[in-house]
Structure 1
Amino acid sequence: MIVRFLHSTYCNAALFGGLLFLLMGYLILHFPPKSVKTWYGYRTFLSTRNQEMWDAANKDAAMISRRVGFIILLIGICCALIFPSQTDWFMYITVGAVVVGVLYITGYTEWMLTNEFDDDGRRRIPPKL
């Protein structure tokens, strides 16, 4: 039974990646990491500059992660329903969706940090309420 599931189209990277992004976004949004030294959170060079950048990056990454996770989950469900078996194109689409999702989350969050904070890590614009 497990082998049958592993070879079915319902076992794909987009479904697992989408669920992982949804879970990650939910956990970071509802249980935000308190400091830069915690073991989880959105961790890049820009986001670990100071506490204010860390908080802003994790809040933004959590919201984007939930949106991207939902879209990737829909792509995975559509691919599972459309493709009769796990073909090369099936793998390209499902794995590609996860890769593009990771790149989008990282790129958008880094872009937001560079626009919202100056080179010294001080906020340029007031935070959104």
Structure 2
Amino acid sequence: MNSMTYVLTTNGVLFLISLLFWKFPPKKINRLYGYRTYKAMLNQQIWDFANSTFNQTFLMYSGFSFLGGLLLASFSAKELSWEPMVLVMLSIIVSIIKTERALNDTFTEEGKKKK
């Protein structure tokens, strides 16, 4: 598989998924779709905040990942193997960490908004 196809099927698909999450966020707490952690599912206010925060950061970092992968594929002298996948994993991990930090900064462990 050539490098450009690899980037499009990894980083490109991740960016497409982030666009879907951003365009069609989950409305109600559910176990199938959305940012689902214990704290995010405590109540509707936290659910809305967590999904909004995650969708924004996920869109941004998956976009960076996609652009970075395209740059790697364009300027790489050899075929890419693991590099685009590292960008995918970093995008997901950074989005989760930023969302959890925002949840901890905004809400208490009981699910009430901090003052």
- Work out whether the TM-score is over 0.5: yes
Which TM-score tier does this pair reach, normalised by the shorter chain?
A: 0.7 to 0.9
The aligned residue for residue 91 of structure 1 is 81
Matches within 5 A, 1:95-114: 95-114=85-104
Larger radius of gyration: 1
- TM-score (normalised: structure 1): 0.78
Instruction: Show the counterpart of 1:37.
Output: 30
Q: Supply the RMSD in Å over aligned alpha carbons.
A: 1.8
Identity of aligned residues (%): 23
Residue 10 in structure 1 maps to residue 29 in structure 2: no
Stretches of structure 2 lacking an aligned partner (at least 5 in a row): none
Moved over 4 A (4+): none
Q: Give the superposition deviation at 1:65.
A: 1.1
Give the CA deviation at 1:96. 1.0
Report which of the two has the higher share of helix: 2
Return 14-23 or 50-59, whichever deviates more. 14-23
Q: Which runs of 5+ in 1 are unaligned?
A: 1-6
Query: Aligned pair 1:60/2:53, yes or no?
Result: yes
In the alignment of these two chains, the number of paired residues is 115
- TM-score, structure 2 normalization: 0.87
